[in-house]
């Protein structure tokens, strides 16, 4: 499932919330081979873990269309 945030600031807020739970987490940095500058944070991977744990943090986010 891919969810959308409204800003990089919101992504980092979610990152900090997940970090204290000890769930697996990964910040993705773009390689810079296309239009996005190298090392730009483009997304956040959360899990694997129980759906309920992840949903507590991401339940307000909308699906990326």
Q: Which residue has the higher pLDDT, 12 or 65?
A: 12
Domains of the chain plus CATH, in order, are 3-60 (3.40.1490.10)
* pLDDT tens-place string over residues 1-47: 899 999 999 999 999 999 999 999 999 999 999 999 999 999 999 99
Segments of the chain assigned E as strands: 3-4, 25-29, 41-46, 62-63
Computed from CA positions of residues 31, 36, 39, 42, in that sequence, does the dihedral angle turn out positive or negative?
A: negative
Distance CA 3, CA 31 (A): 21
**pTM for the complete prediction?**
0.86
What local confidence, expressed as pLDDT, does residue 1 receive?
87
């Amino acid at each position: 499932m891919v969810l959308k945030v409204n800003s990089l600031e919101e992504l980092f807020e979610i990152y900090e919330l997940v970090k204290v739970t000890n769930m697996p987490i990964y910040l993705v940095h773009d390689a810079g081979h296309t239009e996005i500058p190298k090392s730009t944070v483009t997304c956040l991977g959360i899990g694997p873990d129980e759906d309920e744990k992840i949903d507590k943090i991401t339940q307000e986010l909308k699906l990326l269309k």
